[in-house]
Structure formats: structure tokens, C-alpha cells
A and B are shown apart, each in its own frame.
Chain A
Amino acid sequence: MTAAHAGRSAHRAPEPLRRAASLVGNLLSRGDGIVGLAILLVFGLLALFPDVFVGPLEDITTVTGMRLHAPGLGHLLGTDELGRDILNLTVHGARISMAIGLMATVITILLGAVIGVIAGFVGGTTDALLMRLCDFFLVLPTVVLALILAPVILDVVGADAELFGIRATLLVIVVVIGLTSWATTARVIRSQVLSVKERMFVDRARVIGAGPGWIMVRHILPNVVNLIVAQAVLTFAGAVFTETTLSFIGLGDSSAPSWGQVLSSAQEAGAAGLGASWYIIPPATCVVLVVLAFTLVGNALDDVLNPKSAGRR
């Protein structure tokens, strides 16, 4: 990610349609890209229409199953310690985990892109200050920050508040992931902006009298949008991963069972010791698959869109 991207010949921004088509084409020409996209397609569908596949989310008051029952005809993936159907939980977990991931990614990318573009384009003292700010956010330990921020956020918004159907307890996770991961994105985008800025067409635009805002939106942004997309996909992977970790250690919301939350319940129920592997394997597999898929697609995008950049974390 430290590659300077210098020396790439200047080119006009291609028309969006052709670009999207060639992007998908390039992506599909790569094995890992196909695998990743296929996995994401499946989980995307599950997340969008969980009710279609498994009916409404079961909770303790609506369960019909037996406690910790092994997979069978009635419950294909078995049940948890409350009698909830694991398949039902896992499919609904896709929605919750990915909703949190999406919101965290949006925050991360918005902050990261805006700050990265401004820092790279404006330069000078602004750049130096913004990069110090990045340094600061880069060192914040995600999990511990989440633990400290949780009560503050809950106090500000109220423990029973909701935003877009996401409960306040989950908002904590979204905010913390956003706060701790935008700085990486900002740095990557800034270095790209620096190289783009040097290119001729910017000078040309400046000569004909365009303002900085105009240049940023019309000339810089289109040239870093590739990078932003690739970053967004990789951020999504990180967000799902972090959400799982935070939920597992008890920051989640038991009434909104994300995969991490289900795994946390499994741990609390002692599923491993009880031999109830059906309780652990489905959500764990889903987390791994989704994180893997986003990583694959992100890396593939990165390679396709930015052929010179090395693989990143």
C-alpha cells in the first residue's frame, strides 16, 4: 500500500458503463474473484430476504424446538439451548452481521475518503494535521475503545434507542469499527491522490481556472474511486470480523443475534463441552466464509483496478 503509483500514464476517465463491464469481466476472469462473488451473492440474498428462506426470526417466546437438539428433520441444523432453530438464527444472523458491517463500512469509507482526498490534495499544514489525526486513530485499540465508549454512547442516545432499526447497543459496535478503521483508508487514498495530483490534467484544469473543489470532485475523485471500492470491500471483511469478536466478548445484543452473538451464546451455553457442534459450526463457518469472500473480492478488485499495488492486510 506504500506503492506510489507514480509513472502510470495519464488517461482520461473512461465512461462508467464500460468501466463497470470491464471490471466485472476482469473479476470473473480470476478464480478467487469468482469464488468470493458467489459466496457474497448467496449471503447477500440470505441477508436481504431471511424471512423467505427460514421465516421470521425465532426468539425465546416463539420457539417450538427442544433444547440443544441435534440436527434432524424438523431442525436441519439443530437447536440452541433455548430451542431456537440454528438455521433460522444463522440466516437471520447474516442480515444482522452484514448490516453492521455495511454501516461500519459506510462510516469508514466516508471519513477515510473525505479526509484522504483533502489531505492529499490540499497538502501543507492541513495534510500534516490530518495525518497526525490518522496516527492517533491508528493506535486506538478497537476492543478496549469499544468497551470504554459503549456506556458513553448508550448514555448519550439511551439504551433503548434505535437508528434505522439498529439498536443502540449495536450502534456502539458500528461507531467503534468506523472510528478505528477510517485512518487506514485515509492514508491509502491520500497516497493515491498525491500521485494523481502530479499528473498533467490537474495542471491543465488549474490553468483553465477550475477551483479546488471542482478539481477534487471532477478530476481527483474519479481517479481514486477504484481504490475506494477496493478499500470498502476489504473494510467490510474487517468489520464483520471485528463485529464477531466484539459480540463474542459480550458487547452484542442478545435480541439481535449476529453470528458473533450466536457464537457468544454457544460459548455461554457450553456448546463445545456438550458436543453441540451444530451450534458452533454454522455461524463460525459463515463468518469465515464471508470474511474470506470479502477479502478475496477485495484483493481481486485491488489487483484488477490497481495492478501495481501489492497485496495488503
Chain B
Amino acid sequence: MNVAYLVRKLAQALVTIAAIVILLFVLFRAMPGSPDRVSKNPNMTPAMQAAERARWGLDKPLVPDQLVAFIGSTVTGDLGTSIKFRGQPVTEVVGAAVGPTILLVGLGEAIAIIVGLALGALSGWRRGGLVDRLGNGASLVFYSMPYFVIGMPLIMVFASGLGWFPTSGMTTPGASADPVGQVLDVAGHLVLPLTAVTLGLIGAYSILMRSAIIETRAEDYITTARAKGLTDARILRHHAFPNALLPMVTFIAINLGYVIAGAITLEVVFSWPGLGTLTVAALNARDYPLLQGIFLLVSVSVVMFNLLADFVYGALDPRVRS
């Protein structure tokens, strides 16, 4: 792989991140009354407000002083203080919500990738067969369903109806002291939301994989393999599947960037303590510093995984040139 290609992609990613930081700066300043609003309190005298503004550096000109200060603090990881969770740094509040989201959506992505690719491969290989009819149809339907539409019936049936699983949340407070019990407790809470995330994600993978397999199937080497008398299943596993997988790799890498963006509506219906629920809570409390932090985290994560996709693409495809 070409070093110049890597360097160029890396530079592009950095420029994008810089642009995001500047966009945040502009948006945050354009908000009605913000960030003055943060320090606005009816009990404050004008003199106190001036002091407060000076403390936050709001008395200085927007460009360059405030912009430089903003970029400086962002780079050093200081994203300000949450309004909703008073006195807590945004980085801490966001940090606490990242784990649950990665657990839920990351695991959902993993299962959806495995199941989706397998389903897509089988559907495409036996086009018009039973797997294709049911699998492809269901994939399309689930692909068209917002997460909460999948999640709500699951809660109604399996949690409040049959009582097999907890209705919401991630843990039972103080339920168990030993680690095994805690893991099982989380696992029990995880089943329903994970099912919903997985169902929602499978569609995209299986639909893409299906067309990739269909294209691969028409290639010459498959015909050759068949002529050599290899069994159908063997051709699928050893020739068609690995080849169809290549274009999927970039798609998967890009998609993983959105793991952190989470499944907002799903987290809300399950009260899952992740970034999605936090985003909505921040919205309801109009906690702009917090929203800003989430925005930054999500977009940087997407940029990074895009970069990864470029690298993977560069490594897999020798034709990549400048």
C-alpha cells in the first residue's frame, strides 16, 4: 500500500475534524442567547453577569480569541460543563454513556453482520428459493422499520406480557454482588434491545450481500469451479462468499462508525443508559454543551472509521492509486 495514499487520507480526515470543530463553534454561538444563556440567572446583577462573561472569556472578540480558546480546550479534551448534570464535565457524562451503547449496538452490529451476510449469501445463491423469499422479504421489511417500532412490540410481549425479560434499563440496582451474577443480570436486560437492534441492522447487510453474491455468481471462475464438478455448497463457501465479502468490508467499516451514534429511539423505549438516551435527555434539558460533546464524539468516530475503511480498501485493492 502506498504511503502517499495513507498520508493523504489522514490529512483529509484531520481537515474534516477541524471543520466539525469550527462548525460547532459557529452553531454554538448562533444559538439564541448561548452561551450567555448558560450564565443567565435572574438573580444576577449586570456587574455579576459581566464578571461571569469575563470568566468564560465571552467578553473577548469571537475571532480569533474565542475561536482559538475553543479549539484549544476542545483539543485538550475540555468540552465544558453539562447544564443538565450540573457541575459534571461533559467528557465524564458522555464517557459514562459510551460503554452501554457500544455493548448494545456493537454487539448488535456483530450479530447482524454475521447473520446478515449469511442470509444475504444464501438468498443470493439460491435466488427465488425459500430462504430468499422469506429472508429477503423480511430483511426489506425490518430495514424499513424504525428501531422503536421493532422494540415496542418486543417489550409488550416478552417483558410486560410474558415477563421473561426485564422491561427496561441495563442493570438491577444492587441485584448481585458477584461478577457472574452481574453479567447475567446485564445479559438478561440486553436480550430484548439487542434483538431489536439486530433485526433493524440485518436488512442492510443481507440486501447488499445478496446483490454482491448475485454479481459474483455470474463471474467466470464460478462457472469454472462448477465445471470442475465442485459441489454447490463448496463453491459458495470457498469461492463466491469470500469474493463477495471484499466489497462488504468497506461498507462494514463505515457502518461501524455509526455504532456510537447508537439507536437513539431504541435506547429511549428501553431506557437503555447509552448515548441515545443521553442525547434525548440533553435535548429535553436543552443541554447544549452536552449535545455539542455528543456531536463531536459521534462525528469524529465516523471520520475515524471512514479512515479505517479507506485503509482497508487501500490494503485490499492494489489498484488504488493517487
Question: Which residues of A are interface residues toward B (Cβ below 8 A)?
Answer: 2, 132, 135-136, 138-141, 143-145, 147-149, 151-152, 154-155, 237, 241, 244-245, 248-251, 260, 263, 267, 272-273, 275, 277, 280, 284, 287-289, 291-292, 295-296, 310-313
Q: Given A143-B279, A313-B204, do A284 and B264 touch, yes or no (CB 8 Å)? A: no
Which of A148, A267, A311 is the one whose CB lies under 8 Å from B208?
Answer: A311
Question: Which residues of B are interface residues toward A (Cβ below 8 A)?
Answer: 12, 15-16, 19-20, 27-28, 30-32, 140-141, 143-146, 148-149, 152-153, 155-156, 160, 204, 207-208, 210-212, 215, 247, 257, 261, 264-265, 268-269, 279-280, 282-284, 286, 288, 291-292, 294-295, 298-299, 302-303, 306
* Contact A249–B280 (Cβ < 8 Å): yes
CB nearest neighbor in A for B283 = A147
CB distance from B23 to the nearest CB of A (A): 8
CB distance from A104 to the nearest CB of B (A): 16
Q: Given A152-B30, A272-B156, A280-B152, do A132 and B215 touch, yes or no (CB 8 Å)? A: no
* Contact A291–B148 (Cβ < 8 Å): no
Chain B contacts for A143, CB-based, 8 A: 261, 264, 279
* Contact A132–B32 (Cβ < 8 Å): no
Pairs A–B under 8 Å by Cβ, sample size 25: A135-B16, A139-B20, A139-B257, A143-B264, A145-B295, A152-B31, A248-B148, A248-B268, A263-B149, A272-B152, A272-B155, A284-B149, A287-B146, A288-B144, A288-B149, A292-B141, A292-B144, A296-B140, A310-B212, A310-B247, A311-B208, A311-B210, A312-B208, A313-B204, A313-B208
Report how far A310 CA is from B288 CA in the complex, Å.
41
Chain B contacts for A289, CB-based, 8 A: 144
Report how far A251 CA is from B15 CA in the complex, Å.
31
Which of B140, B247, B294 is the one whose CB lies under 8 Å from A144?
Answer: B294
Which of A139, A248, A250 is the one whose CB lies under 8 Å from B299?
Answer: A139
* Contact A136–B31 (Cβ < 8 Å): no
Report how far A237 CA is from B144 CA in the complex, Å.
8
Contacts beyond the supplied A144-B291, A152-B30, A272-B156: 7 A-B pairs with Cβ under 8 Å: A2-B247, A140-B299, A147-B282, A151-B31, A248-B265, A267-B269, A310-B208
CB distance from B74 to the nearest CB of A (A): 15
Q: Given A136-B16, A147-B282, A272-B156, do A292 and B140 touch, yes or no (CB 8 Å)? A: yes
CB distance from B281 to the nearest CB of A (A): 10
* Contact A245–B155 (Cβ < 8 Å): no
Determine chain B's interface SS by DSSP, over half rule: helix
Chain A contacts for B295, CB-based, 8 A: 141, 144-145, 148
CB distance from A267 to the nearest CB of B (A): 7
* Contact B160–A273 (Cβ < 8 Å): yes
CB nearest neighbor in B for A280 = B152
Chain A contacts for B303, CB-based, 8 A: 139
* Contact A144–B279 (Cβ < 8 Å): yes
Report how far A296 CA is from B15 CA in the complex, Å.
37
Report how far A154 CA is from B286 CA in the complex, Å.
14
Chain A contacts for B148, CB-based, 8 A: 248, 263, 267
Report how far A310 CA is from B247 CA in the complex, Å.
11
Report how far A308 CA is from B303 CA in the complex, Å.
30
Chain A contacts for B207, CB-based, 8 A: 311, 313
Which of B140, B261, B264 is the one whose CB lies under 8 Å from A249?
Answer: B264
CB nearest neighbor in B for A143 = B264
Chain B contacts for A135, CB-based, 8 A: 12, 16, 306
Report how far A141 CA is from B279 CA in the complex, Å.
12
Which of A147, A237, A241 is the one whose CB lies under 8 Å from B291?
Answer: A147
Q: Which of A245, A249, A296 neighbours the largest number of chain B CB atoms within 10 Å of its CB?
A: A249
CB distance from A148 to the nearest CB of B (A): 5
* Contact B292–A148 (Cβ < 8 Å): yes
Chain A contacts for B280, CB-based, 8 A: 249-250
Chain B contacts for A139, CB-based, 8 A: 16, 20, 257, 299, 302-303, 306
* Contact B146–A295 (Cβ < 8 Å): no
CB distance from B35 to the nearest CB of A (A): 13
Report how far A276 CA is from B18 CA in the complex, Å.
49
Closest 8 CB pairs of A and B: A311-B211, A291-B144, A155-B32, A292-B144, A139-B302, A141-B298, A144-B295, A284-B149
